[in-house]
């Protein structure tokens, strides 16, 4: 239904869900109501950094975090809903992607995009399942969790 503030659909229950996708050349957000109908959407274009042929990078703070924050801000302004009314947020980004961060959560550097010849997953294409599981095991043994917890959530019972 229209809310009288520019024709934006408003859910009578006041319950919304937000989806955000950070893509290679643009970031998108969509707000849906409880029935799954699109209430509003936003798109932001951004650049992929190509330092030289074959290399493709994103600035994680300048693209990923900036776009996420700006998309949420635009959705809230356009719809005039409260952030409390958003009951769930789903995020996706270019995949596969891994962004190493320091202890303060700051990126070590730029992210290698999926189209980069340096993309980390290319090294793993020839791995067997056994060698991949050995790597996962080593990572789990060294995993440190935020908040001082040291248990491995993969070992916890659901």
Q: CATH number for the domain including 35?
A: 3.30.420.40
- Report the pLDDT value the prediction gives residue 109, as an integer from 0 to 100: 82
| 47-56, 64-73, 103-112: the lowest-pLDDT one | 103-112
Average pLDDT over residues 66-94: 93
pLDDT over 90 at 42, yes or no: yes
The tally of domains found in the chain comes to: 1
CA proximity to 28, closest of 39, 36, 20, 37: 20
For residue 89, is it within any domain?
A: yes
pLDDT over 80 at 65, yes or no: yes
Q: How far is CA 66 from CA 69, 133, 146, in A?
A: 5, 35, 23
- Report the pLDDT value the prediction gives residue 1, as an integer from 0 to 100: 40
How buried is residue 41: exposed, middle or buried, by Cβ count under 10 Å (0-12/13-18/19+)? middle
For residue 127, is it within any domain?
A: no
Average pLDDT over residues 18-32: 94
Instruction: Give the pair of three-digit tokens for residue 109.
Output: 């550097």
Give the tens place of pLDDT for each residue, 81-139. 999 999 999 998 876 666 777 888 888 888 877 776 665 555 555 555 555 555 555 54
pTM listed for this prediction: 0.65
| Domain encompassing residue 38 | 16-121
For residue 3, is it within any domain?
A: no
Instruction: Give the pair of three-digit tokens for residue 120.
Output: 């980390």
Average pLDDT over residues 76-84: 94
For residue 138, is it within any domain?
A: no
Distance CA 69, CA 134 (A): 37
For residue 145, is it within any domain?
A: no
For residue 97, is it within any domain?
A: yes
- Report the pLDDT value the prediction gives residue 11, as an integer from 0 to 100: 60
For residue 47, is it within any domain?
A: yes
Classify 65 as helix, strand or coil: helix
Classify 92 as helix, strand or coil: strand
């Amino acid at each position: 239904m229209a809310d009288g503030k520019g024709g934006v659909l408003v859910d009578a229950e006041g319950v919304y869900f937000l989806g955000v996708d950070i893509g290679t050349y643009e970031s998108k957000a969509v707000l849906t109501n409880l029935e799954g109908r699109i209430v509003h959407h936003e798109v932001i274009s951004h650049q992929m950094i190509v330092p030289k042929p074959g290399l493709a990078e994103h600035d994680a703070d300048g693209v990923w975090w900036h776009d996420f924050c700006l998309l949420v801000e635009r959705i809230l302004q356009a719809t005039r809903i409260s952030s409390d009314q958003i009951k769930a947020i789903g995020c996706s980004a270019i995949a596969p992607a891994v962004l190493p961060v320091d202890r303060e959560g700051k990126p070590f550097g730029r992210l290698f995009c999926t189209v980069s010849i340096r993309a980390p997953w290319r090294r793993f294409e020839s791995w067997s399942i056994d060698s991949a599981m050995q790597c996962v095991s080593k990572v789990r043994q060294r995993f440190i969790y935020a908040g001082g917890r040291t248990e491995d959530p993969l070992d916890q019972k659901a």
